[in-house]
Amino acid sequence: MASVTKFVESRLFLRVNREKSYVAHIARDVKYLGHSFGMRRDEDGGVRLRMQVHRRSVESLKDRVREILSRSNGWSLDYRRYRLRRLVYGWVGYFRLADMRGLLRRIDEWVRRKVRCVYWKCWKRVRTKFRALVRLGVGRGQAWQWANSRKAYWRVAASGILDRALSNAKLEELGWTLFYPRYLLASC
């Protein structure tokens, strides 16, 4: 720490805050502006340092998504879509240099399930659920059976019937913006 501080202050003419600064292994202990660093093996067997999103930043993102897609906040679907789109564009824009393909795929699966949960809650009554499922292409018998289900919202959101009725393509058609496709556009 002493040699790094001496170099930074004498050669670069910067002041080092001794209360906040520390020396640490970059692949284990460093969190810098929401990013962390990890080691990865290349195809040729070499080790490469890569930038990734810190776990606390991911938890913060999940908390914000939970707030937007909360089933009990009374917001309209259009307003939720708008807020989620703003969050996605800002978050992906900020972390676009990080290596986060796998992370964003998992987050998108979770967000889609939360969106399906919101729709199931919005439909409320058995008759409304039945009509919505039929309108989305589910057979009348299966639609009636699932509309009368007493399972919890989160459980129904993961069911095959709602997964088929509100498929990924259908959610995209309805205007829901997700993280992974936006990341692919931003990283080009």
pLDDT (tens place) for every residue of the chain, 188 residues total: 888 888 889 998 999 888 888 787 766 667 778 888 877 777 787 877 788 898 899 999 999 999 999 988 889 999 999 999 999 999 999 998 888 889 999 999 999 999 999 999 999 999 999 999 999 999 999 999 999 999 999 999 999 999 999 999 999 999 999 988 888 887 76
In a domain, 39, yes or no: no
Query: What's the distance, Cα to Cα, between the start and end of the chain in Å?
Result: 38
**Residue 10 shares a structural domain with residue 78:** no
**Residue 23 shares a structural domain with residue 72:** no
In a domain, 96, yes or no: yes
**Residue 22 shares a structural domain with residue 59:** no
Mapped onto helix, strand or coil, the DSSP state of residue 69 is coil
Torsional class of 122: left (φ above 0), alpha (ψ -120 to 50), beta (otherwise): alpha
**Residue 5 shares a structural domain with residue 81:** no
In a domain, 162, yes or no: yes
The whole-angstrom separation of Cα 34 and Cα 53 is 6
Q: In whole angstroms, how far apart are CA 65 and each of 15, 17, 88, 185?
A: 38, 35, 10, 21
In a domain, 92, yes or no: yes
Number of domains in the chain: 2
CB 80 within 8 A of CB 71: no
Residue-number span of the structural domain to which 19 is assigned: 1-27
In a domain, 16, yes or no: yes
Which helix or strand (DSSP H or E) is residue 117 part of?
Answer: helix 101-123
pTM of the model: 0.82
